[in-house]
Amino acid sequence: MATGPMKTIGAGEIRTDQVGDTVTLAGWVARRRDHGGVIFIDLRDASGIVQVVLNPEDAPADDDVLHGLRSEYCIQVTGTVRPRPDGTVNSALPTGEVEVVAGGLNVLSPSAALPFQIDERVDIDESKRLQYRYLDMRRTRMAENLKARSKAIGAMRRVMDRDGFLEVETPTLIASTPEGARDMLVPSRLRPGKFYALPQSPQLFKQLLMIGGVERYYQVAKCYRDEDFRADRQIEFTQLDLEGSFWGQEDVLQVLEQIVAEVVKELRDEEVALPFLRMTHSDAMERFGTDKPDLRFGMEITDLSAIFADTQFKAFAGVLESGGTVRGINGGQLELSRSGLDGLVARAQELGAKGLVWMVVEEGGTLRSPVAKFLSESEIEGVRTALAAGAGDTLLIAADETVAVAKLLGQIRLDVGRPEGNDELAFAFVVDFPVFDVNEDGSLSPAHHPFTDPGDVATLVNSPETAVSKAYDLVLNGSELGSGSVRIHDPEVQAKVFEVMDISDEDAESRFGWFLEALRYGTPPHAGFAIGIDRFVSILRNEPNIREIIPFPKTQTGADPLTGSPSRVDEQQLDELGIDIRPEVVVSWAEEEGVDQG
């Protein structure tokens, strides 16, 4: 082939405007069809697909090359653009009205037999896709997801740059700090017995930037948390991290609204209604049983305790006498059979509940339920009224300790109400989080992190379990997109928080001395936030799992089938680090995954 550019246009960019032009393309053979000696291939590159006609009579290459072409061969083609013949237009392709008649073909790189077909119509096991992620990326789904991720980050940066934020990188080898999850530790060879930690977030360093006078900071930051995996979690993830000096909560939320609106416009070409709903944490728990409510549907939790205050139904009476609560939701017209209704009871028991009462409203207002005979007319009428129940509605009621009931009905609400295939976006800010979560043993742990402004200091000291912080979350369709807070800028307040957490002065000094000292040098009031990029893009792309948004993710067990990590290292490396590994805890990822490594 003639020398010149490797390619002059993207395969997916060719349109009827280019008819008659000579073009040079480079990409992969997506499909090959042999029609009576004339060979048709779909040539794919990052821009899309175009049909290429290889007629041996035009001698674009010798016969061995033409007939040796296979899927995923990397090739270069020079040819002329022409309209497709009548009756052969492919309306499913943007390039479907044209084709390229090849005058020359060069095989840049042949392909070995594929471990799976690069075809969206073929269902492929995820572990195989992750093992050959570089091939999976050639599939339309992954290619489009990666483009969307890049566009989202670009949109975020546009807002940050427009609003005068300075992009600053922070360290990835830091001291271990308590931020709610286990740190990923890195041993130091030069300081045997000591460890770095990979950052769970750039929290302390972005606060130092505020002390340093940066005023407006942002970063597309890699973060690491050694925690259990779920569909929307990875041990390493990416977030948009931002912080501002002389800011309050509302300043942060307004910037976040602009970021979200820009990303949604970029990825979906939709306008987002602003401002977003603000809802307190206590209100969210009361109405939806979760601090990340899905607001695409109603079905709110209603307190029915007053209705059953004098009930003769022992299951409810006993709970109320012990200080518990009775609450319910109107599930709407579920039209479930008896076995389906009993299945909801079984589901409640799976979630740890003692049980669940179902009631179906019949024509005329009577209730069909196993417990209906134990209820008075006034109780039945009270339930119907409180839950705004009409004929055909299914009512679901639980009685237990307040928090347990809220969590149970919150999950049942999602089970029976969450819309499928619904592209609606329901954003909300949940604000006024408690300062501390109360653990089962009565100890306290930060609901966000220990550097969050605790609000009223007197309440923090005298009744820490009731203290309300200046913390806030951004929620979308039942998922938490990110968290933030107004930070502590007074070293005395920071000391009080550590005191309530039972972190001694000595321990605080050893772990945070460098940060506590910085707070003493005229720290400005400041606040910030971090948005999980992987999770945000996965929701906008209707992907149920963030692994579909991450270029090289880990599996559900933390393994990387592509590189074989985490893996053993040789004894010399361990000796240099001063590390001994107990034989009983040595289990490679391959053994966990059932892979024979020999």
Query: Taking the CB of residue 416, how many other CB atoms lie within 10 A of it?
Result: 18
The three-state DSSP-derived secondary structure of 237-278 is: EEEEEEEEECCCHHHHHHHHHHHHHHHHHHHHCCCCCCCCEE
Q: What is the pLDDT of residue 503?
A: 86
Residue 295 in contact with residue 287, Cβ under 8 Å?
no
Residue that has been written with the tokens 């070409």 in this structure: 269
Q: What is the pLDDT of residues 18-69, one digit of tens each?
A: 999 999 999 999 999 998 889 999 999 999 999 999 999 988 999 899 989 9
Query: 598 pLDDT exceeds 80?
Result: no
100 burial type by CB count under 10 A (0-12 exposed, 13-18 middle, 19+ buried): buried
Indicate the range of 157-166, 341-350, 429-438, 587-596 predicted with least confidence: 587-596
Query: 542 pLDDT exceeds 60?
Result: yes
Topology given in CATH for the domain delimited by 11-109: OB fold (Dihydrolipoamide Acetyltransferase, E2P) (2.40.50)
Residue ranges covered by each domain of the chain: 11-109, 143-281+427-548, 298-417
Q: Give the C-alpha separation, 498 to 493, whole Å.
A: 9
Q: Give the C-alpha separation, 385 to 302, whole Å.
A: 11
> Could you tell me which of 409, 395, 325, 312 has the C-alpha nearest to residue 360?
395
395 burial type by CB count under 10 A (0-12 exposed, 13-18 middle, 19+ buried): buried
Confidence class of residue 338 from pLDDT cuts 50, 70 and 90?
Answer: very high
Q: Whole-number mean pLDDT of the chain?
A: 92
Cα angle: 102, vertex 103, 107; to 5 degrees: 75
**R_g of the chain, CA atoms, integer Å:** 30
> Could you tell me which of 193, 176, 181, 175 has the C-alpha nearest to residue 236?
181
> Could you tell me which of 69, 66, 63, 95 has the C-alpha nearest to residue 82?
95
The CATH number fitting domain 298-417, selected from 3.30.930.10, 3.40.140.10, 3.30.1360.30, 3.40.50.10300: 3.30.1360.30
Distances (CA, A) of 433 to 293, 360, 454: 14, 36, 10
End-to-end alpha carbon distance in the chain: 47
Topology given in CATH for the domain delimited by 143-281+427-548: BirA Bifunctional Protein; domain 2 (3.30.930)
Q: What is the pLDDT of residues 218-248, one digit of tens each?
A: 999 999 988 776 656 788 999 999 999 999 9
Hey, is 210 helix, strand or coil?
Answer: helix
Q: Give the C-alpha separation, 210 to 574, whole Å.
A: 39
> Could you tell me which of 420, 430, 362 has the C-alpha nearest to residue 542?
420
